[in-house]
């Protein structure tokens, strides 16, 4: 069962951790245009995170703003899905993660626009346009890599196989949430399957389904990510930046 606070926090954490990972690509992308694109997407995710965390803080009513929520919670208090905290890996892993994330966020944000909560609806209206761009960008790359060279195809298939199990956590049923994630699965499949087919990739079988992010039981990766993200903020309690 989920209140609006938990729901906004989940979505905000997904976006924040995704932004942190995408930001790591800066200066490391395969081509300069892609450096710009990845920074652009990171910036969109960060913007969504700020709106969602700010709202979550207001719903909580304990005086926590976006920075208190981002920088002063420990890993056990983060509610992001495991998918977004996975390391970047090679470019194929990053594109597989981005494809799955945006194919989940697009119908989610779209559904938010009709959820009855005005703030969430407004956030959904803004962010779904960005998600559509992220989805377009990642779909194109998955196709290029899947249907590119032998090497890129091998890497893209391996990335999809590696990341796929983590998509299942995204759709765990929660009828009490403003948008029930289980209701998004069909939209996700309808977008992702044709992309994988066109990329000439094999669709992975359902099987191992790691989960735990939504209740604060994460992979070993998150604590390191937070250590880096929070180090400066935590070193200067109460400071303004």
Partner 1 sequence: MYGNDFSPPEDAPGGGLLGEVEAAEAALREAAIRSRRGGAPEPGVDLEAYFTDVIEADQKIEPRDWMPEAYRRGLIRQIAQHAHSEIIGMQPEGNWISRAPSLKRKAILLAKVQDEAGHGLYLYAAAETLGIDRDELVQLLLDGRQKYSSIFNYPTLSWADMGAIGWLVDGAAIVNQVPLCRCSYGPYARAMIRVCKEESFHQRQGFEILHTLAHGTPAQKAMAQGAVDRWWYPSLAMFGPPDGDSTHSAQSMAWKIKRFSNDELRQRFVDMCVQQAEILGVTIPDADLRWNDERQAYDYTQPDYDELMRVIKGDGPCNRQRMEHRRAAHADGAWVREAAAAYAARRAANNMEKVSA
Q: What is the dihedral of CA 95, 230, 209, 2, to 10 degrees?
A: -110
Angle separating helix axes 91-112 and 185-198, nearest 10 degrees: 150
Q: What is the smallest separation between the CB atom of 34 and partner 1, expressed in angstroms?
A: 8
Q: What is the smallest separation between the CB atom of 205 and partner 1, expressed in angstroms?
A: 25
Biggest distance spanned by C-alpha atoms of the chain: 54
Q: Report the residue number, 36 or 217, with the smaller CB distance to partner 1.
A: 36
Q: What is the smallest separation between the CB atom of 26 and partner 1, expressed in angstroms?
A: 4
Asked whether the CA dihedral 85, 16, 115, 136 is positive or negative, the reply is: negative
User: CA 6 to CA 208: how far, in whole Å?
Assistant: 26
Q: Report the residue number, 24 or 187, with the smaller CB distance to partner 1.
A: 24
Q: If you write DSSP's letter for every residue of 2-39 in order, what string do you get?
A: --HHHHHHHHHHHHHHHHHHHHTTTTTSSSHHHHHHHH
Positions in the binding site for partner 1 (CB under 8 A): 16, 19-20, 23-24, 26-36, 39-40, 42-43, 46-47, 49-50, 53, 66-67, 70-71, 90-91, 143-145, 147-149, 151-152, 155, 228-229, 231-233, 236, 238-241
User: CA 160 to CA 56: how far, in whole Å?
Assistant: 32
Q: Report the residue number, 215 or 239, with the smaller CB distance to partner 1.
A: 239
């Amino acid at each position: 069962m989920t209140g609006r606070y938990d729901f906004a926090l989940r979505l905000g954490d997904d976006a924040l951790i995704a932004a942190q990972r995408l930001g790591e690509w800066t200066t490391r992308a395969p081509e300069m245009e892609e450096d710009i694109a990845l920074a652009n997407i990171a910036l969109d995710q960060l913007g969504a995170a700020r709106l969602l965390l700010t709202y979550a803080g207001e719903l909580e009513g304990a005086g926590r703003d976006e920075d208190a929520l981002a920088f002063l919670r420990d890993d056990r208090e983060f509610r992001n899905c495991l998918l977004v905290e996975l390391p970047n890996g090679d470019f194929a892993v990053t594109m597989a993660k981005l494809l799955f994330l945006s194919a989940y966020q697009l119908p989610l944000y779209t559904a938010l626009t009709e959820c009855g909560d005005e703030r969430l609806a407004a956030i959904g209206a803004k962010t779904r346009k960005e998600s559509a761009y992220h989805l377009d960008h990642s779909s194109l790359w998955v196709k290029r890599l899947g249907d590119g060279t032998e090497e890129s195809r091998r890497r893209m298939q391996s990335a999809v196989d590696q990341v796929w199990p983590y998509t299942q956590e995204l759709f765990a049923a929660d009828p009490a949430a403003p948008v029930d994630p289980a209701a998004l699965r069909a939209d996700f499949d309808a977008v992702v399957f044709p992309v994988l087919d066109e990329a000439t990739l094999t669709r992975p079988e359902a099987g191992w389904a790691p989960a735990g992010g939504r209740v604060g039981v994460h992979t070993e990766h998150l604590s390191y990510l937070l250590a880096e993200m929070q180090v400066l903020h935590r070193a200067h309690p109460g400071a303004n930046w």
